[in-house]
Chain A
Amino acid sequence: MAAPMLRLGFPGRRWALTWLDGGSRHRSGSQTGPTSNWARRQSSVAQPSLHTAQKPRKGEHKWAAVVGLEIHAQISSNSKLFSGAQVCFAAPPNSLVSYFDASLPGTLPVLNRRCVEAAVMTGLALNCHINKKSLFDRKHYFYSDLPAGYQITQQRLPIAANGHLTYCIYLGKKPSQVTTKTVRIKQIQLEQDSGKSLHDDLRSQTLIDLNRAGIGLLEVVLEPDLCCGEEAALAVRELQLILQALGTSQANMAEGQLRVDANISVHHPGEPLGVRTEVKNLNSLRFLAKAIDYEIQRQITELENGGEILNETRSFDYKLGCTMPMRDKEGKQDYRFMPEPNLPPLVLYDDTSLPRGADSQQVINIDQLRDMLPELPSATRERLVQQYGMLPEHSFALLNEVGLLEFFQNVIKETRTEPKKVTNWVLNTFLCYLKQQNLAVSESPVTPSALAELLNLLDRKAISSSAAKQVFEELWKGEGKTAAQIVSEQQLELMQDQEALEKLCQTTIDGHPQVVMDVKKRNPKAINKLIGLVRKASHSRADPALIKKILERKLSL
C-alpha cells in the first residue's frame, strides 16, 4: 500500500531501538509512494550511526536512554488566562495587551473560566486525577519578555495529576505488528505564556512584543518513560490529536501553539539514572525525534570516551542537526517559588459536591465536563475499524491528516461502493495526489461528491478501474467537469453490449489461431495475451474480467 500509516515523514517501519548496543540496529523495508524521503536522507547524512558507540569495545555494556518531556500547549480561548486581552496569532505588536499583562502596578489577575474547563477536559482525556483544590504559585526569573519578573503557574498543587497517554507503534508492515505503549503523565498545570523577544544583534537590542504575554498554557509533564526520538514524536503526535479533538488547543507546532522541551539522560540498565540535559527550541516532530536521538548519541559517545555530562540546557540547531549549549543560561536557576498571594485556591466540584443554588457561571462541575467530552482519537479509530472493517493502520492514516476523515465520511455517504474500496481510493489515490502537490484536504480540487460519483460509475461497472484512474486525473485538474462528463468526452465507457463483445471475442479467436492453440495447450500466459488482444480491439472499453469469462466459455476451458 502506497500510503504509510503515519505521515510524520517517518517510514511506516520502525526502528526497534529499546536496547542500544553495537549491532542491534534494525531497519527494514524501503520507502514507497510519494512520501518524504526522511529515512533515506537520514542514512546518507554523515553522522555517527544512531545509538551505537563510535568505538565499540569488547564486552560493552548496553546503554538505555531515558527521555522525559515537558509539553506546553497554548489554550484555545478568546481571552488570556488572567486578563481580558484577546488571544490572536498575528496582530500589531503590543495591541493585544492589557494593563495586567504589561504588569502595571495595581493590576490583579482574574482567572478565565474557559481555561480552567480546558485544563479539566484535557486532564480527563488523559486519564488524570483532577485535583478538586489546586493552587497558583509565582515562579520568579528575570527576562525582558516577562514584565512582572515572575510567571503565575501551578507548581505545588496542579489541576490534574497521575494520568497516562497511550500511543501506537508499528513494528512492521503487518497490522498484527502494532503495539500500544503508554507514557505516564506526572501533572497538568495552568500557567501564563511569556511575551516574544526579537533579537536585533546588529543594534545590540531586543524588541519585546507582549501580545503573547499572559496567554493560557497547559503544561503537560510526562514521566521519563520514553526511550528514543521516535517514541517521543509518536507520543507528542497522539497528544496533538487529542488536544485538537477536544478543542482545547490547536496544538500547531509550527505556530508555536505546542512547544516541547526534552530532558534526556543515558545510563546502564540497573544503574542509577545519569545526568540529564534539557533540549529546547524544537518546533516540529521531526526535529524533536532528531534532536533526542542526536543528544542520546552525543551523551553515549561522551561517556564512553571518559567524559562527563553537564546538567545544562541545550538548543537544537536544525541546520547542523545537532544540539549546542545555550549561551544564556548561567548555572542553575533558583526560581524562588512562592504562593500567588492574589489568587485563592481553585476549587472544582462534581455532581456530589456541587453546592446547591450556586451560580453556574462560578462553579465548574467535573462530571458535567466529563459527559461533554467528544470522541477521542483512539475511540474514533476503534469505531472506524469496527464500522468499516478497515485495518488499524488505515484508521491512523485517516486521522493523521486534517479534514481527511470528514472527506472520507462524506464520500461514504454518497456512494454504495463498499467501504474498503472507498478507503483504498481515499488513502491511496486521493491522498497521494494531495501529497504530491503539497495540498491540504481543504484545498483539494476534487470534492467528496465528485469522488463519490466516480466510485458509483465504477461500482456499476460503467467504467473499468484503469479508466477510473484516468477520470480521477482529469477531475484533479479542477476544470469543473463531472466524472460522467469526462467519461463521455473521452469515451471511456465500458462496452455494455454483451453481444457485440461476444462477436469481438469470436473475431479475435478466429484471427489468432496460434494463440488459441497455446491457450488450449494450457499455456498460462496465452490467455492473457488473448484478453489483451480483445481489449485492444475494443479500444480498452471492455472489462477484462468479462472478456476472460467469454473467452473461456467459447474455448470450452
Chain B
Amino acid sequence: MWSRAASVRFRAPLDAGRSFASKANPQGKVQAAGLGTQAPRLVPQGSGRVSPAVIEHLERLALVNFGSREAVDRLEKAIAFADQLHAVDTDGVEPLESVLEDRCLYLRSDNVAEGSCAEELLQNSNHVVEEYFVAPPGNISLPDMVNKIPSSTAE
C-alpha cells in the first residue's frame, strides 16, 4: 500500500498527469483529450479525500477490492502521510528513478540456459489442459462497483 501511494505521489510533479498514463502514440494531442474524460485524476485535490470514481478506477486497474470505508480511509491516510514530502524543496534536483542508477547493467551472452521445465511450471496451475495453462475467456468486464461502496463515501 505504501508503494502504491508513493507511486501516485511520484507521478504528480513530472507532468499534468498524462505523460505516463497513456501509451506512447504519434497523435498525442487527440490522446490527451480522449483520456481526460475517462480516467479520473489520481492525485487527490488537496482535501485528502478520494472520490468513488477514483476508487472504482483503481479497483479496475489493480483488481483490488476496496470493500469497506476503512480501506478507503487507510488509503487517504497513506496519501496524507506521503504528502509530507511536499515539505522538501526539490527545485533543480534530478529525480531518483532507481537506487541502482550507479550500477552497471549486466549483459548476459545470448546462450540458451533455461527452459524445458513445462511439467514443473504446470504444477502451479489449478487447471491445465494438455500442457497449456487454462484461463477464463478474454477480459471479463467488472460489474459496476460504485453502488457497493458504503454511502458515507459518496460525495
Query: A residues near B, CB below 8 A?
Result: 66, 68, 70, 77-79, 83-86, 92-100, 102, 104, 110-116, 135, 139-140, 142-144, 155, 186-187, 197-201, 204-210, 221-224, 263, 265, 272-276, 311, 327-328, 330-347, 361-362, 364
B135, A205: Cβ atoms closer than 8 Å: yes
A208, B133: Cβ atoms closer than 8 Å: yes
Identify which of B22-30, B43-51, B70-78, B85-93 touches chain A.
B22-30
**Residues on B with beta carbons closer than 8 Å to the beta carbon of A263:** 25-27
Q: Does B107 contact A (CB under 8 A)?
A: yes
CB distance from A280 to the nearest CB of B (A): 13
**Residues on B with beta carbons closer than 8 Å to the beta carbon of A344:** 98, 100-105
CB distance from A210 to the nearest CB of B (A): 7
CB distance from B41 to the nearest CB of A (A): 11
Chain B 101-155 residues near chain A, CB threshold 8 A: 101-118, 121-122, 124, 127, 129-139, 141
Contacting residue for B106 out of A143, A207, A224, A362, CB 8 A: A362
Measured CA separation A144–B70 after assembly (Å):
31
| Size range of the chain B interface in the assembly | 35 or more
Measured CA separation A209–B129 after assembly (Å):
11
Measured CA separation A144–B136 after assembly (Å):
8
**Residues on A with beta carbons closer than 8 Å to the beta carbon of B34:** 275, 311, 332
A276, B114: Cβ atoms closer than 8 Å: no
CB distance from A125 to the nearest CB of B (A): 20
**Residues on A with beta carbons closer than 8 Å to the beta carbon of B132:** 93-94, 198, 207-209
Given contact pairs A78-B111, A85-B112, enumerate 7 new A-B contacts (beta carbons under 8 Å). A204-B137, A205-B134, A210-B133, A222-B26, A276-B30, A335-B22, A361-B107
- Closest CB pairs A-B (n = 6): A144-B135, A84-B113, A68-B26, A98-B114, A114-B110, A207-B132
Closest to B106 in A: A110
- Given contacts A113-B110, A207-B134, A362-B107, whether A337 and B30 have CB atoms under 8 Å apart is no
Measured CA separation A345–B37 after assembly (Å):
34
**Residues on B with beta carbons closer than 8 Å to the beta carbon of A144:** 133, 135-136
Contacting residue for B21 out of A84, A115, A209, A334, CB 8 A: A334
A205, B109: Cβ atoms closer than 8 Å: no
**Residues on A with beta carbons closer than 8 Å to the beta carbon of B131:** 92-95
**Residues on B with beta carbons closer than 8 Å to the beta carbon of A142:** 63, 139
Q: Main secondary structure on chain A at its contact with chain B?
A: loop
Closest to B130 in A: A93
**Residues on A with beta carbons closer than 8 Å to the beta carbon of B136:** 144, 204-206
B118, A92: Cβ atoms closer than 8 Å: yes
Measured CA separation A98–B108 after assembly (Å):
15
Closest to A355 in B: B104
A361, B141: Cβ atoms closer than 8 Å: no
CB distance from A162 to the nearest CB of B (A): 13
Measured CA separation A338–B20 after assembly (Å):
8
A113, B109: Cβ atoms closer than 8 Å: yes
Q: Does B57 contact A (CB under 8 A)?
A: yes
A206, B24: Cβ atoms closer than 8 Å: no
B112, A84: Cβ atoms closer than 8 Å: yes
Closest to A118 in B: B110
CB distance from B141 to the nearest CB of A (A): 6
Q: Does B39 contact A (CB under 8 A)?
A: yes
CB distance from B76 to the nearest CB of A (A): 19
B39, A334: Cβ atoms closer than 8 Å: yes
A-contact 0/1 string along B9-42, CB 8 Å cutoff? 0100000000011111111011100110011000
Which one of A94, A97, A338, A343 has the greatest number of beta carbons of chain B within 10 Å? Answer: A94
Measured CA separation A33–B103 after assembly (Å):
61
B115, A98: Cβ atoms closer than 8 Å: yes
Can you pick out 10 interface pairs between chain A and chain B where the beta carbons lie within 8 Å of each other? A86-B115, A96-B115, A113-B109, A198-B132, A206-B136, A207-B134, A209-B132, A311-B34, A340-B98, A361-B107
Measured CA separation A364–B112 after assembly (Å):
21
**Residues on B with beta carbons closer than 8 Å to the beta carbon of A339:** 97-98
